[in-house]
Amino acid sequence: MTSNNASIEIRDLYKIFGKSPERYVDAVRNGLSKAELSKMHGCILGLNNINISMPAGKIQVVMGLSGSGKSTLIRHINRLIEPTSGSIMIDGRDVLEMSELELREFRRNQTAMVFQRFGLLPHRTVIDNVTFGLEVRGVEAAKSRDIGMRWIDRVGLVGFETRYPNELSGGMQQRVGLARALSNNASILLMDEAYSALDPLIRTDMQTMLLELQTELKKTIVFITHDLDEALRLGDQIVILRDGSIIQQGDSQDILLRPADDYIERFVKDVNRGRFIKVDAVMEPAPQSETRSLPTLKSGTTLDAAAKELTNSTQDEAIVVDGPGKPLGLVSLRQITAALSSAVEERSSAQGHAEERLRRDLS
């Protein structure tokens, strides 16, 4: 079931909405702000100098609040929105230079999209929705059904294939949308706020399902969200946008441990870091002395899980090892506790600063 995956390189991407937007790209490059562009020229700056390398076979999360440009960005990848300037390279090929026919084939065969509001066809059954893309591509009906049923099984909807969308819950409808996207065997999966309309427990289940499928399929996934916990759980790499510009990009450890500015700090201050920070981020180099008597922790173990293991152990230190068991470093319960305590202290400090500012404002 694994398909060829694809890398995505976005370079110097600008999107300005309005009349003759190309006239203002240089001005934006030279520092014209979003507010100034709107006031002086009546144009809206959607994306400002976006540069992202999205590795093949990984989940790239693009995060931001409403109006940050995240949905505008994902729609550039399959050219549902035309950029004002820049390039989007898929495995070395510029999507922006594709002819209309080439673009149609690219959308049909290399990309699939999962929408926030499911985007199912209400007059078609589950199996007919799942196989719709195959039907458009001209795949023979019996083969389409076999493929569709395989993916219906994978997303846990066997027995519902003859139901219509209005007979399904929101979570089940989103499973149909995911099965439809996967049935096309596209190398790139575009997910625009795919789980935002779901209840929290269903949302968590869908995240788990996506991670399990990704372990096997290794698709190149671009996942849009406004939820930091979701971004931290899903993203191999995370980009945070504000007003159409990239504020910070990196992995979850970069975002949590090295926030780029006050804006990112406000995002991360209430996150339970123990769920996301990994022992690799706080470990020390493995000592040369004998350590066989120490327990081991796998690379990628979260601080919460590590603290639990060490608390239940007779040792207060552990060796961090990679998949084959090679030692990578040494971590102690003291280091883990200090890392978690610093997060609490930072939150308390931030609250203290806010209270102090409030007192000054009121005095």
Cα(342)–Cα(127) distance, rounded to whole angstroms?
51
Listed as ranges, residues in the chain with pLDDT below 50 are 1-3, 344-345, 347-348, 350-352, 354-355, 358, 362-363
- Give the model confidence (pLDDT) of 263-309 as tens digits: 898 888 888 888 899 999 889 887 766 566 888 899 989 999 999 88
Q: How far is it, in rounded angstroms, from Cα 163 to Cα 176?
A: 11
Looking at residue 6, its pLDDT comes to 77
Q: CA-to-CA distance for 53 and 82, rounded, in angstroms?
A: 19
Q: Which amino acid is located at 264 in the chain?
A: I
- Does residue 318 sit in helix, strand or coil? strand
Q: What is the pLDDT of residues 309-354, one digit of tens each?
A: 888 888 888 999 988 888 899 999 988 888 877 654 454 454 445 4
What pLDDT is recorded for position 24? 96
Structural domains of the chain, with CATH: 51-268 (3.40.50.300), 272-363 (3.90.1280.20)
Q: 10 phi and psi, to 5 degrees?
A: -105, 125
User: Bridge partners of 54?
Assistant: 8
Instruction: Give the per-residue pLDDT at 357.
Output: 52
* pLDDT value at residue 294: 85
- Residue that is written with structure tokens 């009546």 in the block: 42
Helices (H), the chain: 25-29, 34-41, 70-77, 100-109, 126-130, 132-136, 141-154, 170-183, 200-217, 228-234, 252-257, 262-268, 303-311, 333-362
Query: Pairing state of beta strands 237-242 and 220-225?
Result: unpaired
Contact 272, 340 (CB under 8 A): no
What is the spatial distance between Cα 223 and Cα 202, in angstroms, rounded to a whole number?
Answer: 17
User: Strand, helix or coil at 199?
Assistant: coil
* Tokens describing residue 26: 């240089």
| Token duo for residue 109 | 């065969």
CB atoms within 10 A of CB 23: 13
**Alpha carbon of residue 52 to chain centroid:** 13
Could you tell me the CA-to-CA distances from 307 to 302, 323, 333, 344 in Å, in that order?
9, 20, 6, 16
The confidence score (pLDDT) of residue 351 equals 47
Report how far residue 108's alpha carbon sits from residue 91's, in angstroms, rounded to the nearest whole number.
17
* pLDDT score for 218: 92
